[in-house]
Amino acid sequence: MLLQTPADYRTALRRMDALAAAGFEGNAALEAEFRELIVALDTYEDKLGLLPIPNLPTSLADMIELKRQQMRLKQKDLAQLLEVPAGRLSQILSGKRRVTLDLAKRLYERLGIPPEFILKNA
């Protein structure tokens, strides 16, 4: 098996996860496929030199959304965590409203967004 594109790589990762979740012990064909996937993934990663770096957010709204997803919060739960009304958070995420100084402080303290990023993108 030869992986040549990022799409091939993602497909192989998904297949490996599916095999691991299903439990392939005792099935020689699935065990062989799993080992083949590992070799193909290792070869592709070695060819790259490094794992691809995901695109980092370029706007404050995108950064807040990324942090929300990482924390596995719903938007209304994030609004509660940041102590802002859900409607206001929605306006901030859509770019219709700016971040206040108090909210900027909470973004830093509760979500870990670097202050420099907040200042550059607020």
Q: Where are the domains of the chain?
A: 6-48, 60-121
Share of the chain above pLDDT 70, in %: 96
Higher pLDDT, 95 or 24: 95
pLDDT band at 43 (very low <50, low <70, confident <90, very high): confident
Q: Which CATH number fits domain 60-121: 1.10.760.10, 3.40.718.10, 1.10.1040.10, 1.10.260.40?
A: 1.10.260.40
Phi-psi region of 106 (alpha: psi -120 to 50; beta: other; left: phi over 0): alpha
For the cut 70, the answer to whether the pLDDT of residue 4 exceeds it is yes
Q: Which residue has the tokens 């496929």?
A: 33
Stretch 64-80: mean pLDDT, rounded? Answer: 94
Report yes or no: 34 and 1 within 8 Å, Cβ to Cβ: no
For the cut 80, the answer to whether the pLDDT of residue 87 exceeds it is yes
Answer yes or no: pTM beyond 0.75: no
